[in-house]
Amino acid sequence: MRRTFEPRPSQEAFDWADRWPLPQGTEQIPLAEAAGRVLAQDLAAPVDIPREPRSARDGYALRAAETLGAGDYNPLPLRLSPAALPLERGRAAWVADGDPLPPGADAVLTMEQGEARGGVLEVGAALACGDGVVGAGEECAAGGPLLRAGRRLRPQDLARLALAGMTEVPVRRRPRARIILAGHFDADADGPLLAALVRRDGGQVTEVLAVSDETALIGVLQQPHADLILVAGGTGHGPQDAAVGALERCGSLHLDGVAIHPGGGIVLGQSASRPVILLPGAPLACLCAYDLVAARALRRMSGRPGHLPYRRRVLTLGRKIASSIGRLEVARLKITGDTAQPIATADGRTLATAVQADGFLLIPEQSEGYPPGSRVEPYLYDDYD
């Protein structure tokens, strides 16, 4: 009942996590729901955006050539006309920011640059053609690239597509994660934990199943309709621990144990060409192993940067922090002002430490820790969005 256990350097786990592609499959979704999704194909502008020249300010549309020589001490008069009509020579028309220019106009005077009185505008500045104007096609010319395939859509990208008249957009399918609870204890805790983490990282949870028997596990590891499989628990060395055996029988093991702590019991492999990650069942170890390895894989599969989702901050260590050479340590910290204090725990076994902590420091494999007063840059648990 005992496997050879030789934890592998964390970099091997990270390299493995980085190699999984975005899932195949495209769906057409409403533009308003597409933020954060990955564009499935190149999109081109069907028409010039904007279609016609627009004013870029509230002001007076006019012919730039007719402002030649105008200045504070040499105001030139233009008669005001309605903007709806083509602009005759010697005239100007009030336009609001975003209004199409009246035909004939080629520049827009700001309100500060002119004074309107009784139907006459006194022009107090000389303009160049195009001043205060967004030209036809200036946002994007007809046929030009709107956005490229593979782009993770930003809010402003949705606005760009809306300007092009689009109301739906083709995006890559979100990676689907199957969550399997194979442990005998704390499975109730790992379910909501992993579901929240998967959603944070851009995945969709297809199901959360409690399965601990080896034959049943082989079944759910082989089922289609998932791009990533997370198994929590059942990875230990006891007679009831069936997850590793199940994975070996229906797929392959890549790494059995990684030099991280907590969470070193993580096992990486694949089944039906999909990544399978076996996580420790103890919630703290499950969280740490997920964050370091599974989050990295899933975030890349959803088109995000693969790094940890937490923001970092440079702080001073208030007390010494020790770590064992040979493993990457997730050291939980309390932060007060600019000082970080390690949370004292015998062996970092309670989830409470990750609840009380404001963040964590990653202590590299080759380090024994840091003396008090060290400048460190921990990750902040509350600052991940």
Contacting its own copies within 335-364 (CB under 8 A):
346-347, 349-352, 354-355
Amino acid letter, 118: G
> 3-state DSSP call for residue 199?
helix
* Binder among 111, 120, 149, 325 for its own copies (CB under 8 A): 111
* Binder among 43, 180, 189, 230 for its own copies (CB under 8 A): 189
DSSP secondary structure string, 282-301? SHHHHHHHIIIIIHHHHHHH
Q: For its own copies, which is the closer residue by CB, 325 or 352?
A: 352
Question: What CA–CA distance (Å, rounded) separates 54 from 16?
Answer: 51
DSSP secondary structure string, 139-180? SB-TTSEEE-TTPBPPHHHHHHHHHTT-SEEEEEPPPEEEEE
Within 10 angstroms of residue 260's Cβ, the number of other Cβ atoms is: 26
Question: What CA–CA distance (Å, rounded) separates 353 from 342?
Answer: 10
Question: What CA–CA distance (Å, rounded) separates 135 from 120?
Answer: 27
Nearest-approach distance from CB 102 to its own copies, in angstroms: 14
* Binder among 71, 305, 372, 373 for its own copies (CB under 8 A): 305
Candidate segments 60-68, 147-155, 222-230, 367-375, binder of its own copies by CB under 8 A: 147-155
- Is 134 near its own copies (CB under 8 A)? yes
Binders of its own copies among residues 276 to 295 (CB under 8 A) are 280-284, 286-287
Question: What CA–CA distance (Å, rounded) separates 140 from 320?
Answer: 57
* Binder among 12, 14, 36, 125 for its own copies (CB under 8 A): 36
- Is 210 near its own copies (CB under 8 A)? no
* Binder among 8, 63, 91, 160 for its own copies (CB under 8 A): 160
- Is 237 near its own copies (CB under 8 A)? yes
Candidate segments 74-82, 89-97, 214-222, 360-368, binder of its own copies by CB under 8 A: 89-97
